[in-house]
Homo-oligomer: A and B are copies of this chain.
Amino acid sequence: MKNRVITISREFGSGGRTIGRRTAEELGIPCYDNELLLKIAEESGFKENYIRDAGEYAPGGFLSNIFSHQGAGPNNADYLWSVQYRIITELAEKEPCVIVGRCADYILKDKADCLRVFIHADMAFRAERIVNVYGEREQSPEQRIREKDKRRAAYHRFYTDMKWGRAQNYDITLNSGTLGIDRCVNIIKELY
């Protein structure tokens, strides 16, 4: 029987990672986000920082141009994708869990019994939240959000050919700004 897995896609700053962690904690199952990143790093031999960035750049963008050979054969981003694909599949086959980001919804679509969740919120909520959680930066929070979202959407589109944030790709989408983090956790927990 396939394992029950919660996959969470999320807009930057919407609290998707917090929701994933808390849901997993309350359900007593593991949650993979940074842990997953580290596993991928170990296996692929890339540095963690590089992976974090590459995970949000679609191939053909900035990083792949700098780091990849321009000739034939898979580039770094494609190699990373294949490692990520394998690790996510193995995690989901091992036990029920929560996986945040990294196109897990797409990767697992025939491999696990997924509850596919998307978390979003309006700009004001997210701007306030990223300053609280990640601190001030030179760029305005709005600029940081727009850039991150753009990258995530492009990455998702490139590898899955599905539109990020389209309701029809998920079992449930939640506005953490209007509903609040607690209610999002409760709803996902009850559905699981």
> Interface on A for B, CB 8 Å cutoff?
11, 118, 120, 165-168, 170-175, 178-179, 183, 187, 190-191
Contact = CB atoms under 8 A, between A and B. Distances in A.
* 10 pairs of A and B residues whose beta carbons are closest in the complex: A167-B173, A173-B173, A171-B175, A167-B167, A171-B178, A165-B167, A120-B168, A118-B167, A120-B167, A172-B174
Q: Classify the interface of chain A: helix, strand, loop or mixed.
A: mixed
A91 to B, nearest CB: 22
15 contacts: A11-B168, A118-B167, A120-B168, A165-B166, A165-B167, A166-B166, A167-B167, A168-B175, A171-B175, A171-B178, A172-B175, A183-B191, A187-B187, A187-B190, A187-B191
Contacts of A175: 168, 170-172
A192 B171 CA distance: 20
Interface centre among A118, A120, A172, A178 (most CB of B within 10 A): A172
